[in-house]
Amino acid sequence: MVEHDFRYSLMSPQHTLIECRALVPGRYQVTGNGGSIHDDDVLLVTLKGSKDLSMRLKVEKVRHLINPRGQWVAVANGPVFGELAIHQWSVNCNGCQKALSFEFAVDAKLGVKAQKPAATARIAELGWRTEGDRHLCAQCQVANA
């Protein structure tokens, strides 16, 4: 099992994601170019409409195309959601006032109630800590420890 990074980047145009579409929730068809993809590999793909969010997909089966050369189509399993909504929020550190602008994704069907837990989880992924309505960056967490 190998992990292939197909997140959006202008740095490696020979290794590109052409399309990623949901067949059913949790099952995806991915078309790409380059990367020598095999069954059971993991693909990191950028979420549509996002600058920095990605998801991990595990390749179930892959078919390499003869033409165009290097192109492949894979069926992969990944996160289960209905309609994904990407939100952008900002918070300030209550210790040093450092600002953090971040994106997070939430299933749109879950509504507004699901936004705060999803945002809190994303803040934690970025190394910040949330305590109620207070936020602490990584540097202030070390200073307060």
Same domain, 99 and 44: no
Please state the rounded mean pLDDT for residues 30-39: 90
Among 77, 95, 113, the domain-final residue is: 77
Residue 95 to residue 32: CA distance in whole angstroms: 45
Same domain, 60 and 113: no
Domain span holding position 137: 84-144
Same domain, 67 and 101: no
pTM of the model: 0.78
Q: Which of 16-20, 35-39, 75-79 has the highest mean pLDDT?
A: 75-79
Same domain, 56 and 113: no
First CA to last CA distance, the chain: 39
Give residues with Cβ within 8 angstroms of 69, minimum separation 6.
none
Among 49, 77, 105, the domain-final residue is: 77
Among 29, 53, 77, the domain-final residue is: 77
Residue 74 to residue 65: CA distance in whole angstroms: 11
Report the pLDDT value the prediction gives residue 12, as an integer from 0 to 100: 58
Residue 85 to residue 74: CA distance in whole angstroms: 25
Give the gyration radius of the chain's Cα atoms.
18
Residue 135 to residue 120: CA distance in whole angstroms: 10
| Domains contained in the chain, number | 2
- Over the stretch 40-72, which tens digit does the pLDDT of each residue have? 999 999 888 888 899 999 999 999 998 888 899
